[in-house]
Structure 1
Amino acid sequence: MSQEVRNLEPKALWNKFADLNAVPRPSKKEERVIAFMMDFGKKLGFETLNDTIGNVIIKKPASAGMENRKTIVMQSHLDMVHQKNNDTVFDFDTQGIEMYVDGDWVRAKGTTLGADNGLGVATIMAILESTTIKHPAIEALFTIDEETGMTGAMGLQGGMLEGEILLNLDTEEDDEIDIGCAGGIDVTATAEYDEEETPENAVAYTITVKGLNGGHSGMDIHKGLGNANKIMNRLLFDAFDAFGLQIASIRGGSLRNAIPRESVAQVVIANVYDDAFAFDMQDIINEIKSELKTTEPHLEVTIVKSENKPAKVMPPMAQYFLVRALYTAHNGVYRMSADFDDLVETSNNVAKVMVGEGKLSIQCLTRSSVETAKFDLANSLRSAFELMGCEVTYEGNYPGWTPNANSEILDVLSSIYEKQNGAKAAVVACHAGLECGILGTHYPEMDMISFGPTIKGAHSPDERASISSAQKYWKFVLEVLEHIPIKK
């Protein structure tokens, strides 16, 4: 399958992407891709560094005639989100991504594609390897663990880079130039409870929510997509109130930065309610499907009687607080920006809910381009979870990237884009978390910009990269490199 991708134009870009996608690279398990990148830089004969946290830096001198231009940092992250369809057999720890061409799109077989941020990495690799592309001195920065904490960017030490301009290649619309992004914080609620014996007259059921689109919890949060954890909780809430349903376990969602697509709950009800339960639940399911028919046409909710009755369940009072706290926890857009049209300012993703064996965990990712608003929403979530007796922790806090409308490199990119395409690029800030905000704390004088080819469905198995957009983007990158400002 990858050979079909290797034949696409520009071949330099797609071949490097295929090479990269052959290397397993889940977040927090980047050892193999770090070694791959170190070997790549050393074979080219360039200065190649691996810092203490795992980031890789490869330095390439300017091409002939470009020595008087400002040194640039070209930056992308090595890790990728590992999501797959429920029926896909795939091991992200050992397997390379299986790609195929579908019209104008490159896709993966039942998994995330890794175009986020693999196409950025591949772009830099192709430029490093080329002997014909004109460019100033380049410091290629490949960070680790962007998707689950941005620890690579956070751990980068000041003084390792000399570049005056940073080109971040991690946005996903080819007609946009990004000059700002949201910050984020992980909100985690945990608690323990004493399980009780399952009643003798209980009937066991498995409730499954699946078929949702999922997506990026920043870039897609405004689309009104279904959240499997919130849908599941709605079902459990109603069944608990109406029929005294008791929860044995819940397994919902997987990653903080992915809108949850699936949730499975093991539950019991008293057998006297058996028929009424099935009838009433179908009414609620139909209501939910009707509400989400436009955004989630493939939503499936099944309630199947199970022969294996769980030995223990959550006690009613603990469950009472759980379903109410989850109902209270805000999910989705919290506030739109007053300064940028159509920009989400603050949001939350109720990303992962795990309940069973006397323990529960609720994981959220709260984002905002306004630092105080980020903590305001986080404190709202904290309050709901603490009222049910949870311990709530904040981790992975990272800053947003404040827009600089007077950026010199912005003027360069805007001019080139308009010349090449006959229309102006949209200059935007995004609701995703980019590493620019963090890198700016280490290098506050660095002029930063972010752009990239069109990628759809990031953080989900529907992730796909546009072939025509990659061609447009590659042409844009090459001209940008030729027009980096002269040193002052």
Structure 2
Amino acid sequence: MYSSLEELKKHPVFYYFSEISNIPRGSGNEKAISDYLLYFAKQRNLEVIQDEALNIIIKKPAVTGYEDIPAVIIQGHMDMVCEKNKESLHDFEKDPLQLRIVGDMLYATDTTLGADNGIAVAYALALLDSDDIPHPALEVVITTEEETNMRGAFAVDPACLDGEIFINIDSEEDNKLLVSGAGGIKATQILTITWQEAPENAVGYRISIRGLKGGHSGMSIHKGRGNANKIIGRLLYDLSSAFPYFIQEINGGSAVNAIPREADVTILLQSSEIGQLENKIQEWNQVLKNELRASDPDIYVKLEKIPLDCTKVFSEQTMNKAITFLMLIPNGIQSMSMEIEGLVESSTNIGVVTTIDKELLFESDIRSSVKSLKDNIRNQMKLMADTLDCQFTTDCNYPEWPYQPHSNIRRLFEKVYKDRHGTDIELIAVHAGFECGIFVEKLPGIDAISIGPDIYDVHTPNEHLNIPSTLNNWRYFLSVLKEMNTFKFEEHNETAIEEAEEVS
């Protein structure tokens, strides 16, 4: 469809997507992109708020004929997950993304694309910049730090918003309406490292897990993909039964909400044990190729001799505790929904393991559409930390987004879709955290929905965006806005409100 980026950028959505791709916007590094959005609004004389969390709220008045329609909040987040291939020299703190087209897909070279959630920002800017798109009053809310702790959404002052309809653009499946999402919490277990002197005449080796696909810890958790941190734990446990060795450091994963694709451990051992180590690595390559032949056929374990640059190693007690953590920490699907076929109800992902000076950190992403089950997984992890005499902290405890039985905006999206395609659109609930839950809590009575184009391999360097789907979803979105002046918005009656409360 599009043979070059220059041709693609002639469309306003992709023009703005390209513009923001030039601005570093990893979670916690949003000042530049927030300032860009602030400048954009001021240049167009639009009302704009930049709060202390660097969230941006831009307001645009209704066009003629749409003044009496309830204001619409359009919401997404400006930050992205920063994952790259090991060999990539890309610096997410300063380098622009290198966009490229392959067929109908848009990629970034060796890095995440940031379509999650740059596409929401691009849609919003294209809409705000237009003077010929019919729409009611708009309140565009672009938040920060969604990918790490949703601190931006939590910080939004609800008094700044008047909208009654909420359209989130952070879904990743075209031709579907997202109507419910999971809540979540980040759990961190901290093991204090006791160091001891490295043994004399020891040699150093780095063992690396490579070739895994990874993926979003919510959207891809059901795909059975290997978790590099769990795999390195299994390997270390097996080695400990074969010959003596010492650990210098363990590091795996780079984002708590991404299934870790890579992990490394540095071990020391005597020269006489090298042959056994090499044999074990060969065995594990065969084991993992067999176990993950369907989900991760390219997995491999790499063994590399390295020079020793440290005279300290984990004590035996620290080493045993670290391996115990990696072996026993809950990971993967914990329960499936009995109400929605195929929907993961609860899960956890041990996303990051980091050796820092005197501490070994284990960071997990817990998700559930049922609060009590989310709390239960948290309690399991706390009990494990207590048993192994570790610190335990939690962060980013965000609420579930319950299904709303009565929804005007859902009815409108359904009507427009059927008018366009002659068939009913699919309603879905997903096992992922959405800022919708936070805003539904903040804004009682808000009518929420989530849409988005097809995005694949999110939170990995293979992330790619379907270009025709993006354009189709954009036209669908605009058709909904256009039809708002003829659609009959019904008031919520008491029965509907009671039903919603029962479901939640």
Range of TM-score over shorter length: over 0.9
Residue in 2 aligned with 1:12? 12
Q: Secondary structure of 1:101's partner?
A: strand
Aligned-partner Cα distance in 2 for 1:325–1:84: 27
Letter in 2 for 1:275: G
Q: Which amino acid aligns with 2:355?
A: V
Q: Is residue 456–residue 465 contact of structure 2 (8 Å, CA) maintained in 1?
A: yes
Match of 1:223 in 2: 223
- Structure 1 residue runs of 4 or more that deviate by more than 6 Å after TM superposition: none
Contact 1:70 1:486 in 2 (8 A): no
1:14-33 aligned at under 5 Å gives the runs: 14-33=14-33
- Name the structure 1 match of 2:391: 391
1:323 aligns with 2:323: yes
SS at match of 1:34: helix
Residue 320 of structure 1 aligns with an amino acid whose one-letter code is N
**Distance apart, 1:384 and its partner CA:** 1.9
Amino acid at match of 1:40: F
State the 1:325 CA deviation: 2.1
Q: Which residue of 2 aligns with 1:120?
A: 120
The number of aligned residues is: 487
Q: How does 1:61-460 map to 2 (within 5 A)?
A: 61-308=61-308, 310-355=310-355, 357-460=357-460
Supply the distance in 2 between the matched residues of 1:295 and 1:448 (Cα, whole angstroms).
34
Change (3 A) 1:346 1:266: same
Cα separation, 2, equivalents of 1:385 and 1:202: 32
Q: 2 CA distance for matches of 1:445 and 1:176?
A: 23
Cα deviation 1:241-287 (Å, max 9, x = unaligned): 22122111111111111111111111012333221221123112210
What is the CA-CA distance between 1:211 and the residue it aligns to? 1.6
Kept in 1: contact 2:112–2:458 (CA 8 A): yes
Deviations 1:348-398 (A, max 9, x none): 010111236432111111011111100101111222232222111111111
Which moves more between the two structures, 445-454 or 64-73?
64-73
Does the 8 A contact of 1:28 with 1:145 survive in 2?
A: yes
- 1:97: how far off? 1.1
Q: What's the offset of the Cα at 1:208?
A: 0.7
Distance 1:392 1:310 in 2: 28
Distance (whole Å) between structure 2 residues aligned to residue 277 and residue 214 of structure 1: 27
Shift of 1:442: 1.0
Match of 1:478 in 2: 478
Provide the rounded CA distance (Å) in 1 between the counterparts of 2:54 and 2:307.
49
Q: What whole-Å deviation, never above 9, does each CA across 1:59-78 have from its counterpart, x for those lacking one? A: 11111211122210011111
Q: Identical aligned pairs, as a percentage?
A: 36
In 2: Cα distance, 1:441 partner to 1:52 partner? 21
Q: Could you list the per-position Cα deviations for residues 145-202 of structure 1 after superposition, in whole angstroms to 9, with x for gaps in the alignment? A: 1111101110111211001100000000002101111111110011212211111143
Query: What letter matches 1:121 in structure 2?
Result: V
One-letter code of the match for 2:39?
A: D
- Output the CA distance in 1 between the equivalents of 2:421 and 2:440: 30
Q: SS at 1:182's partner residue?
A: strand
Secondary structure at 1:83 match in 2: coil
Query: Helix, strand or coil for the counterpart of 1:348?
Result: strand
Give, in whole Å, the separation in 2 of the partners of 1:261 and 1:125. 34
- Whether the 8 Å contact between 1:204 and 1:310 is mirrored in structure 2 is no
Q: Distance in 2 between matches of 1:121 and 1:405?
A: 29
Question: Partner amino acid for 1:109?
Answer: T
Q: Return the alpha-carbon distance in structure 1 between the equivalents of residues 409 and 10 of structure 2.
A: 25
Q: Which residue of 1 aligns with 2:498?
A: none
Deviation for aligned residue 1:306: 2.5
1:431 is paired with a residue of what secondary structure? strand
Q: Does the 8 Å CA contact 2:281/2:301 hold for their aligned counterparts? A: no
Moved more, 249-258 or 304-313: 304-313
Alpha carbons 2:212, 2:298 under 8 Å: kept: yes
- Determine the C-alpha separation between the residues in 1 that align with 2:395 and 2:90: 30
Structure 1 residue 236: Cα displacement: 0.8
* Separation of aligned partners in 2, 1:361 and 1:447: 40
- Asked if the contact 2:203–2:308 (Cα under 8 Å) also holds between the matched residues in 1, the reply is no
Task: Find the residue that maps to 2:304 and give its secondary structure.
Answer: strand
Alignment partners' CA distance in 2, 1:376 and 1:299: 32
CA distance in 1, matches of 2:342, 2:113: 28
Structure 2: state its 5+ residue gaps: 492-504
- Whether the 8 Å CA contact 1:195–1:357 is kept in 2: the answer is no
TM-superposed deviation, 1:212 = 1.1
State the shift of 1:124 in Å. 0.9
C-alpha RMSD of the superposition: 1.6
**For the Cα contact (< 8 Å) 1:239–1:281, is it kept in 2?**
no
TM-score (norm 2): 0.94
Q: What amino acid sits opposite 1:295 in the alignment?
A: S
Distance 1:486 1:68, change over 3 A: farther
Q: Give the 3-state SS of the residue equivalent to 1:432 in structure 2.
A: strand
SS at match of 1:75: strand
How far apart, CA to CA, are the structure 2 residues paired with 1:418 and 1:463?
30
Give me the whole-angstrom Cα distance separating, in 2, the residues matched to 1:49 and 1:452: 25
3-state SS of 2:215 partner: coil
Q: Which runs of 5+ in 1 are unaligned?
A: none
Corresponding residue SS for 1:475: helix
SS at match of 1:304: strand
Cα shift at 1:58: 0.8
Name the TM-score, length of structure 1 as normaliser. 0.97
| Contact 1:204–1:309, Cα closer than 8 Å, also in 2 | no
Q: Is the 8 A contact 1:69 1:486 kept in 2?
A: no
CA distance in 2 between partners of 1:360 and 1:232 (Å): 15
Task: Indicate the residue corresponding to 2:496 in structure 1.
Answer: none
The 3-state SS of whatever aligns with 1:242 is coil
Structure 1 residues 356, 248: CA separation in 2 closer, same or farther (over 3 Å shift)?
A: farther
The DSSP-based 3-state class of the residue aligned with 1:275 is: helix
CA contact (8 A) 1:30 1:78 kept: yes
Given that 1:181 and 1:433 are in contact with CA atoms closer than 8 Å, whether structure 2 keeps it comes out as yes
